């Protein structure tokens, strides 16, 4: 149909005016107006294709709370490189935790495996140290420890704390078994000769409820220092001991005072050189002295010591000493009522190490021989005695020694725990002697002695007064006469000195008289000799000489 037929009729009143002619454009020519939307659509499609092709897997990680998680802002980082973004955070159906939906990048596709670990990096103040301070300005983010599994996974359980050891750390893990955790915690350092070589990565209570299992990680190349003979011990805090041996203070470093720690070392002269395999189990000793003890050749034997005295100051673990050598330790202390004697006694169970006392295996295994040895020792006077090991603390220890004057005893060697004879301690004997002395002193009549002493003192005062009066009388009456007598005696001595002097006449006459007496004695001696030779001269007389 021609286009003119569609024209409206000529309005009335205007005849002869020309009518406009309308024509349609060709349908095959595009309009320039549509160019801009078409370009925008192409760009959008290309961006969508790029986004879809560069988009990685979507995973879900559960956390205890959504602290620090912001949808569209919280990034997922591995070694400070963004590998994803938190898309949304929602509450779990059971309301026990939150679920964070994370979009990983295409390059991070291999992080969605079974052993990958996620945690929220935020400022943390723990015993192992301070971490995450950089998030104070940049905000929290999700950290990642890349796994090595080949199993793909989309749901993960996030860690509440950063892992101590990541999958890219080099070293070995070892298992330690202990009876007490002490001051250890995850992240506590592990030392070798006071050099930090690792840390504690995990611990748990065993099903029996009595033991603790710890896992420690030793960095490479220090892991080769752990061998079959290695000993581990607590190096936690300050090891302060005040016992019968005195005061002991030891620590590994200042860090262990605050955080605790574990130390290990092999005994000197060990023959093991090959490193221990990963996950090898070791015992964790309470201290270095216990860890470095040489293994006993023979198993310890138990014995009970029945004391009739106070055991205050004796505690489990106290040493059993034989002339300065530790041969055992106290295991337990009890109390027992003896109904026949109506008295109490204190049974002390001790562990004795036969090898430390020089006994051999056959001496211990053979019951008859063991009883014979013990009976011989008791017969010689061997007894157990409580002694004071530290005067400051009053701590006691058990001493084994020979007491030749000890009375004989009968002990039950066939009991489940053999009994060993005891003797009172020296301190108790001293207390008894002091008590006896005090009792004797109490019997002294100090009041009567005081009264007698007062009477004696009064009598002595009276005597001294009389003596004083006598002295005064002597000074007044007797003294002048004594002076005169002394003067007469002095005169007499002067006369005697003059008479007895060497040039006095009396001395000269005495010398002449002595000379005459000497000549007379000589004549008499000659006469006597002549009469002995000629006794007839008494009758006939002396014949005349021819």
Residue-level pLDDT at 495: 75
pLDDT tens track for 229-266: 899 998 875 556 655 555 565 555 555 555 678 999 99
* Nearest-5° Cα angle at 231, 225 to 236: 105
What's the mean per-residue pLDDT of the chain?
80
Distance separating alpha carbons of residues 347 and 334, to the nearest angstrom:
5
pLDDT tens track for 358-400: 787 777 777 788 888 888 888 888 889 998 877 777 788 899 9
* Nearest-5° Cα angle at 545, 540 to 546: 125
Any residues with CB less than 8 A from the CB of 67 and at least 6 apart, and which? 120, 122, 140
Segment 324-345 mean pLDDT: 88
CB 130 within 8 A of CB 187: no
54 vs 450, residue with greater confidence:
450
Q: Mind giving me the DSSP string for 291-352?
A: HTPPPPSS--EEEEEEESS--TT--TT-EEEETTEEEEEEEEE--EEETTTTEEEEEEEEEE
Q: Is the pLDDT of residue 325 over 70?
A: yes
CB 308 within 8 A of CB 353: no
Strand order in the sheet with 75-78: 117-121, 141-145, 75-78, 81-91, 98-105, 55-63, 155-157
pLDDT band at 287 (very low <50, low <70, confident <90, very high): confident
Per-residue buried b or exposed e for 141-164, using 16+ beta carbons within 10 Å of the residue's own CB = bbbbbbbeeeeeeeebebeeebeb
User: What are 461's two structure tokens?
Assistant: 């005062």
User: What are 357's two structure tokens?
Assistant: 């006392």
Most confidently predicted of 108-112, 409-413, 435-439: 108-112
Segment 268-285 mean pLDDT: 87
Segment 167-177 mean pLDDT: 89
- Enclosing H/E stretch for 82: strand 81-91
Give the HSE-up count for residue 297: Cα atoms under 13 Å, Cβ half-sphere.
Answer: 11
pLDDT tens track for 47-98: 777 666 667 889 999 999 998 899 999 999 998 899 999 999 999 999 999 9
**Sign of dihedral through CA atoms 492, 493, 494, 495?**
positive
How far from 72 is each of 98, 145, 289, CA to CA, in Å? 16, 22, 58
Region of poorest pLDDT, from 198-207, 254-263, 288-297: 254-263
Q: Of 147, 71, 143, whose CA–CA distance to 109 is shortest? A: 147
Q: Are strands 81-91 and 75-78 parallel, antiparallel or unpaired?
A: antiparallel
Distance separating alpha carbons of residues 160 and 69, to the nearest angstrom:
13
Residue that is written with structure tokens 């995450």 in the block: 132
Q: Is the pLDDT of residue 3 over 50?
A: no
Residue-level pLDDT at 32: 64
Residue-level pLDDT at 427: 60
Q: Of 99, 92, 93, 139, whose CA–CA distance to 118 is shortest? A: 99
How far from 460 is each of 448, 463, 465, 472, 473, CA to CA, in Å? 18, 5, 9, 18, 20
Q: How many CB atoms lie within 10 A of CB 78?
A: 16
pLDDT band at 4 (very low <50, low <70, confident <90, very high): very low
Assign 461 to helix, strand or coil.
Answer: helix
User: What are 165's two structure tokens?
Assistant: 């050891």
Q: Are strands 231-234 and 262-265 parallel, antiparallel or unpaired?
A: antiparallel
Assign 90 to helix, strand or coil.
Answer: strand
Please give the share of the chain, as a percent, with pLDDT higher than 70.
80
Any residues with CB less than 8 A from the CB of 134 and at least 6 apart, and which? none
């Amino acid at each position: 149909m021609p286009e003119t037929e569609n024209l409206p009729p000529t309005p009335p009143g205007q005849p002869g005016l020309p009518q406009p002619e309308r024509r349609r454009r060709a349908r095959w020519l595009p309009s320039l107006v549509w160019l801009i939307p078409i370009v925008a659509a192409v760009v959008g499609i290309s961006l969508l294709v790029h986004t879809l092709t560069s988009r990685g897997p979507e995973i879900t990680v559960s956390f205890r709370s959504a602290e620090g998680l912001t949808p569209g802002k919280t990034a997922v980082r591995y070694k400070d490189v963004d590998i994803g973004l938190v898309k949304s955070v929602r509450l779990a159906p059971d309301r026990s935790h939150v679920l964070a939906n994370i979009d990983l990048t295409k390059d991070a596709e291999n992080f969605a495996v079974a052993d990958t670990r996620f945690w929220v990096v935020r400022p943390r103040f723990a015993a192992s140290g301070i971490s995450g301070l950089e998030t104070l300005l940049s905000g929290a983010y999700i950290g990642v420890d890349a796994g090595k599994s080949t199993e793909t996974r989309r749901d993960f359980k996030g860690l509440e704390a950063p892992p101590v050891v990541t999958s890219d750390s080099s070293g070995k893990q070892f298992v330690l078994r202990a009876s007490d955790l002490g001051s250890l915690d995850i992240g506590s350092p592990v030392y070798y000769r006071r050099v930090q070589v690792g840390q504690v990565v995990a611990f748990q209570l065993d099903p029996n409820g009595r033991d603790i299992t710890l896992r420690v990680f030793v960095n490479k190349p220090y892991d080769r220092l752990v061998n079959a003979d290695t000993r581990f011990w607590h190096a936690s805090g300050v090891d302060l001991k005040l016992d019968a041996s005195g005061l002991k203070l030891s620590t590994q470093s200042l860090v262990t005072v605050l955080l605790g720690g574990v130390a290990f070392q092999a005994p000197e002269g060990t023959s093991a050189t090959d490193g221990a395999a990963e996950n090898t189990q070791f015992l964790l000793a309470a201290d270095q002295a216990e860890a470095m003890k040489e293994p006993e050749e023979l198993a310890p034997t138990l014995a009970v010591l029945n004391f009739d005295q106070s055991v205050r100051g004796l505690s489990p673990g106290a040493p059993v000493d034989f002339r300065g050598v530790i041969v055992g330790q106290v295991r337990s202390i009890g109390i027992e009522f003896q109904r026949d004697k109506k008295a109490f006694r204190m049974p002390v169970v001790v562990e004795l190490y036969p090898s430390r006392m020089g006994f051999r295996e056959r001496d211990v295994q053979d019951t008859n021989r063991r009883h014979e040895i013990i009976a011989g020792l008791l017969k010689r006077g061997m007894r157990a005695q409580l002694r004071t090991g530290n005067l400051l603390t009053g701590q006691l220890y058990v001493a084994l020694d020979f007491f030749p004057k000890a009375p004989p005893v009968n002990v039950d060697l066939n009991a489940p725990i053999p009994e060993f004879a005891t003797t009172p301690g020296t301190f108790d004997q001293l207390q008894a002697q002091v008590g006896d002395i005090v009792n004797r002193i109490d019997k002294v009549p100090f009041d009567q002695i005081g009264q007698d002493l007062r009477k004696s003192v009064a009598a002595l005062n009276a005597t001294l007064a009389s003596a004083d009066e006598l002295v005064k009388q002597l000074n007044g009456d007797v003294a002048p006469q004594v002076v005169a007598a002394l003067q007469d005696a002095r005169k007499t001595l002067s006369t005697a000195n003059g008479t007895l002097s060497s040039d006095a006449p009396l001395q000269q006459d005495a010398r002449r008289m002595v000379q005459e007496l000497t000549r007379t004695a000589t004549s008499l001696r000659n006469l006597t000799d002549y009469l002995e030779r000629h006794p007839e001269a008494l009758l006939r007389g002396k014949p005349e000489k021819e």
